[in-house]
């Protein structure tokens, strides 16, 4: 699939690869063991322009296309999943939602500083008692004049304690089911907003995961994203974009398993020859290569469709489902290739398994994606047009400097 890549794609890919490999990897195990995020990561990603990589220049971004976003996520997760998670929540689930649904005022107030990396962003949908069943959420937003009063708690929120801006979905009409949800931009300095970190996770330990609580938080009407009652559609469009970053990132995890296993198999000898010469080891490598090539092709397809402005809910779901399921399988095979060493943290493959397991749960479990694909295949499901679609990539517009007033 590399024939799709331009010189710009390759330059962005190399920049992110060098950053992740040279600046993050050397101390990664220490932060993973401490279960803390390296405080230098977000400022450095901002400095390199990664946090706004595929946002138009006029809104503070770098002006690259959506395929570049996928390449960036692949390179980040090749080193560690938590780096890609940053892009999923800050960029895929929040910044692209502002680009798609935001007013010009909201883009200037929230998207520009996010794209520049001056502010960090998160996405608040999941609750202690509501995950895949979004309509069952308990968070409420009651209108009072030209403001809303938000109450509720969001759980498993990446960057919860680091973010300045939260995209929050809450109920404005509890009796209207999915049509009773509304999306808002909530800032961390609003009175009544509190956050905290979660520890003891199986994986993604070098990242930040936590909770966001809202107690009578007053949110002005101009912070509402989309119209009242459109929150479900805003959230689903966010997931389309977030799942794309998860799919491309999980592809990087498969690649990590493949490359590490090849390296180990060429250096380890049993019965008088490298284990790479044993057919059952070769079988594992062949499967991992197949999984990587297939996952890459699926996310490339979704990225190209995004560039063309085509709805890609089905394709992105397939890419996310396939890549995440096979990243876990690749990690299991990589541990088997490494033998006893794969069972220790001397090598990275045990971390790949711990990290990969999360992605088959968040942003739609594998079971949810199986149901989606079956419904598409039977014709029971179709994508209805949204009031706002993610804009197609236009190089001239994306890379144009903002007009000075």
DSSP string covering 313-330: HHHHHHHHHHHHHHHHHH
Q: Tell me the sheet residues that pair with 257.
A: none
Phi, psi of 209 (to 5 degrees): -130, 140
User: Which of 97, 295, 77 lies closest to 207 in space, CA to CA?
Assistant: 77
Q: Tell me the sheet residues that pair with 138.
A: none
Phi, psi of 393 (to 5 degrees): -75, 130
138: alpha, beta or left? (left if phi > 0; alpha if psi -120 to 50) = alpha
Is 386 in contact with 231 (CB distance < 8 Å)?
no
Helix, strand, coil percentages (3-state) for the chain, rounded to 5, are 60, 15, 30
Integer distance in angstroms from the first to the last C-alpha of the chain? 43
Instruction: Confirm whether 363 is a catalytic residue.
Output: yes
Question: In angstroms, rounded to a whole number, what is the distance separating the alpha carbons of residues 265 and 278?
Answer: 9
Element (H, E) at 284: helix 279-307
Token couple for 242:
């977030």
Is 160 in contact with 122 (CB distance < 8 Å)?
yes
Neighbours of 175 (CB within 10 A): 7
Q: Is 374 exposed, middle or buried (0-12, 13-18, 19+ CB in 10 A)?
A: exposed
Question: In angstroms, rounded to a whole number, what is the distance separating the alpha carbons of residues 198 and 160?
Answer: 10
DSSP string covering 233-249: HHHHHHHHHHHHHHHHH
Is 45 in contact with 103 (CB distance < 8 Å)?
no
| Catalytic residue (one of 363, 375, 389, 401) | 363
Is 241 in contact with 89 (CB distance < 8 Å)?
no
Is 84 in contact with 63 (CB distance < 8 Å)?
no
Residues with catalytic roles: 363
């Amino acid at each position: 699939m590399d024939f799709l890549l331009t010189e710009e794609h390759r330059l962005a890919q190399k920049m992110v690869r060098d950053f992740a490999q040279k600046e993050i990897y050397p101390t990664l195990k220490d932060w993973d063991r401490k279960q803390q995020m390296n405080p230098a990561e977000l400022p450095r990603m901002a400095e390199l322009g990664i946090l706004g990589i595929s946002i138009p220049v006029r809104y503070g971004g770098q002006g690259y296309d959506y395929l570049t976003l996928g390449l960036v996520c692949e390179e980040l997760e090749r080193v560690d999943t938590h780096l890609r998670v940053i892009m999923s929540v800050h960029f895929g689930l929040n910044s692209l939602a502002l680009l798609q649904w935001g007013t010009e005022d909201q883009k200037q107030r929230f998207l520009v500083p996010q794209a520049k990396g001056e502010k960090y962003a998160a996405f608040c949908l999941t609750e202690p008692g509501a995950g895949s069943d979004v309509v069952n959420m308990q968070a409420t937003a009651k209108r009072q004049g030209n403001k809303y009063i938000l109450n509720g708690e969001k759980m498993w929120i990446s960057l919860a304690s680091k973010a300045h801006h939260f995209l929050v979905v809450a109920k404005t009409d509890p009796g209207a089911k999915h049509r009773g949800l509304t999306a808002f931009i909530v800032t961390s300095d609003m009175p009544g907003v509190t956050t905290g970190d979660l520890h003891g996770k199986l994986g993604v330990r070098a990242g930040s995961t936590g909770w966001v609580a809202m107690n009578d938080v007053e949110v002005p009407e101009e912070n509402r994203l989309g119209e009242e009652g459109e929150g479900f559609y805003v959230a689903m469009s966010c997931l389309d974009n977030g799942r794309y970053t998860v799919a491309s990132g999980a592809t990087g995890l498969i690649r990590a398993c493949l490359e590490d296993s090849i390296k180990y198999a060429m250096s380890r000898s049993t019965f008088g020859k490298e284990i790479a010469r044993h057919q059952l080891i070769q079988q594992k490598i062949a499967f991992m290569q197949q999984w990587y090539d297939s996952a890459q092709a699926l996310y490339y397809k979704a990225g190209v469709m995004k560039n063309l402005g085509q709805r890609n809910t089905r394709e992105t779901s397939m890419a996310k489902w396939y890549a995440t399921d096979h990243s876990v399988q690749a990690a299991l095979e990589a541990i088997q290739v490494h033998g006893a060493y794969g069972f220790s943290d001397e090598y990275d493959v045990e971390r790949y398994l711990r990290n990969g397991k999360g992605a088959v749960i968040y942003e739609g479990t594998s079971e949810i994606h199986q149901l989606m694909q079956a419904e598409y295949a039977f014709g029971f499901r179709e994508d209805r047009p949204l009031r706002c679609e993610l804009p197609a990539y236009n190089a001239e517009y994306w890379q144009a400097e903002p007009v000075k007033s």
